[in-house]
Amino acid sequence: MSAYQPAKLMRLHFSEHHRYKDKLLYEAIVEKCLELRIAGTTVLRGFEGFGEKAQIHRSHLFTHELPIIVTIVDSAENIERLAPIVEAMMDTGLIAISDVQIKRIHKSEGSPAAEIYPARG
């Protein structure tokens, strides 16, 4: 059984309407992570939240301003390289970076899980 490895988790918090140039901010960040060959990125949409202005962000009949959380996991070096780039892309929001332990799970061919969930190639 392989051991867990040290890594960094970056969480970006902002609203769904935030943009970077001609794209939604979360789409631009995911594309930048792909370009920089970051190990993993996931975008999550929240139901409700608030930030520094204590203004509730939620879906209403006439407006949508749901919170977005972008999670990014990679080595400390890659997160340190990415942080100033992402910070420059954001007009407002929050960046949180934490130490984490990671273990990549990849079932080999022939295992029961691999038969249920075959690898894409």
CA-CA distance, 92 to 50, in Å (whole number)? 13
Model-level pTM?
0.77
Q: What is the CATH number of the domain that holds 79?
A: 3.30.70.120
- Domains identified in the chain, total number: 1
Structure tokens at 33: 């992570």
Among candidate residues 47, 53, 52, 87, the one with its CA nearest the CA of residue 67: 47
Look at residue 105 in the predicted model and tell me its pLDDT: 85
Among candidate residues 63, 57, 61, 43, the one with its CA nearest the CA of residue 92: 57
Asked whether the beta carbons of 7 and 102 are under 8 A apart, the reply is: yes
pLDDT digits (tens, 9 = 90+) for 48-87: 666 666 565 555 555 567 889 999 999 999 999 999 999 9
Confidence of residue 11 (pLDDT cuts 50, 70, 90): very high
pLDDT digits (tens, 9 = 90+) for 79-99: 999 999 999 999 999 999 999
Residue 83, domain extent: 5-116
